[in-house]
């Protein structure tokens, strides 16, 4: 199982949208995918119809260690190849409580899920983690089990600064996870203006960060999120749908 964290410390760069649609595109290629919603807002859980305001969220149980079997916290979605560990606001309390514990395994709560006894790593091909725009203990725990970080970015004057900060955090996290690395950036909400074209060209020429793909801006993105559908199912011909399809084809080397 390859574990990918979607991370940027800036909000509004399509992190959740990327996680949701990466999971869908991987599934469409026949891969088994586990999506971990590591954000208390629970938007990835909403996208797959598993947001529950009344119960303690599965991700909260994972962070607090209050589970015995993987089946207690992993839920199926309507897509046979996509399962999810859902989130809600209860994650905030679990993260806060963890900061008050003087416990050496503060950053190892998610590692139980990937241990051989849990059976998860052998069952899924990919694990996609949707992270909030911060470095709380829930994100640190996610980085502890991550193989590769993908950073969604919008081309603006702050894009590079945000990338540098994420890169620094990844370097720091290698102390407890040496296999962790920055896979590259995914340009999102791209509009073919002179300014954004120049920004992408500069980023490519800079050579510091690999550009994994470019997702075009589309009004259908907001509509598909509202309708709780992956963008390809909602509007397969729009630029964003085609962008994610091309991105995953190039990322995996497998078309659908």
Measured between alpha carbons, how far is 204 from 221 in angstroms, rounded to an integer? 25
**Least confident residue range of 5-19, 63-77, 97-111, 215-229:** 97-111
The residue ranking higher by pLDDT, 118 or 125, is 125
Which of 19-23, 58-62, 92-96 shows the lowest mean pLDDT across its residues?
A: 92-96
Sign of the alpha-carbon dihedral angle for 209, 124, 179, 88: positive
Residue 103 has pLDDT above 80, yes or no: no
- pLDDT score for 8: 95
* Per-residue confidence (pLDDT) for residue 102, from 0 to 100: 67
| Mean of pLDDT values over 160-188 | 92
Confidence (pLDDT) at 241: 98
Q: What is the pLDDT of residue 251?
A: 97
Question: For residues 183 and 5, what is the distance between their CA atoms, to the nearest angstrom?
Answer: 10
The residue-averaged pLDDT of 242-249 equals 98
Q: Which carries the bigger pLDDT value, residue 256 or residue 171?
A: 171
Q: Which residue has the higher pLDDT, 104 or 253?
A: 253
Q: Please tell me which of 39-53, 89-103, 156-170 the model is most confident about, judged by mean pLDDT.
A: 39-53
Q: What is the mean pLDDT of residues 181-198?
A: 94
Kindly list the domain boundaries of the chain, sorted by start residue.
2-252
Output the pLDDT for position 162: 75
CA–CA dist 12, 246 (Å, integer): 22
* Residue 161: pLDDT over 80: no
Axis crossing angle, helix 239-252 with helix 15-28, rounded to the nearest 10: 60
CATH architecture of the domain with residue range 2-252: 3-Layer(aba) Sandwich (3.40)
| C-alpha separations of 51 from 37, 46, 109 in Å | 10, 5, 22
Q: Which residue has the higher pLDDT, 17 or 94?
A: 17
């Amino acid at each position: 199982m390859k574990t990918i964290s979607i991370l940027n410390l800036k909000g509004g760069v399509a992190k959740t949208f990327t996680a949701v649609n990466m999971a869908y595109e991987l599934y469409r290629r026949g891969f088994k995918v586990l999506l971990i919603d590591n954000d208390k807002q629970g938007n990835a859980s909403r996208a797959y119809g598993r947001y529950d305001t009344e119960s303690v969220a599965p991700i909260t149980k994972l962070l607090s260690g209050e589970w015995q079997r993987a089946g207690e916290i992993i839920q199926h979605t309507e897509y046979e190849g996509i399962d999810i560990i859902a989130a809600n606001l209860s994650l905030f309390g679990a993260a806060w409580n963890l900061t008050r514990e003087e416990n050496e395994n503060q950053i190892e709560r998610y590692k139980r899920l990937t241990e051989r006894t849990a059976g998860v790593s052998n069952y899924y091909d990919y694990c996609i983690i949707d992270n909030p725009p911060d470095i709380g203990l829930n994100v640190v725990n996610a980085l502890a089990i991550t193989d590769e970080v993908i950073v969604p970015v919008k081309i603006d004057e702050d894009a590079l600064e945000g990338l540098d900060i994420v890169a620094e955090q990844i370097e720091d996290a290698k102390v407890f996870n040496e296999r962790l690395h920055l896979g590259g950036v995914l340009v999102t909400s791209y509009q073919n203006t002179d300014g954004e074209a120049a920004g992408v060209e500069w980023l490519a020429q800079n050579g510091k960060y690999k550009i994994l793909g470019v997702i075009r801006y589309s009004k259908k993105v907001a509509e598909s999120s509202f309708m709780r559908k992956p963008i390809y199912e909602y509007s397969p011909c729009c630029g964003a749908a085609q962008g994610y399809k091309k991105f995953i084809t190039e990322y995996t080397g497998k078309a659908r």
